[in-house]
Amino acid sequence: MASVQNSFEPQFFSVIHPLNDVPEQKCSTEGLGRIRMTRAVRISLGVLRAYLIVMSLMLGYHVLDLAGVLHKTF
């Protein structure tokens, strides 16, 4: 028959707020150069950029329409 040991040693962890913590050394990005991208990555980033531009223009148009700037008078 197996026996169960009841030796429980609690572990305590200290919580340190990030503002009170020692700052860590940051990595230097000097001399890394440009990142090489494949054609598929370049195309997908171009499509994403075009999508964001179109959505921004549509939002601007909607805001101007709601503000009454674009009302047509005949």
Structure confidence by residue, pLDDT tens digits, 34-70: 889 999 999 999 999 999 999 999 999 999 999 988 8
3-state class (DSSP) for residue 70:
coil
Which pLDDT score is estimated for 20? Answer: 87
Question: What are the Cα distances from residue 64, in Å, to 38, 54, 58, 60?
Answer: 39, 15, 10, 6
pLDDT digits 0-9 by tens, 11-43:
888 888 888 888 888 888 888 888 899 999 999
- Domain borders along the chain are 37-74
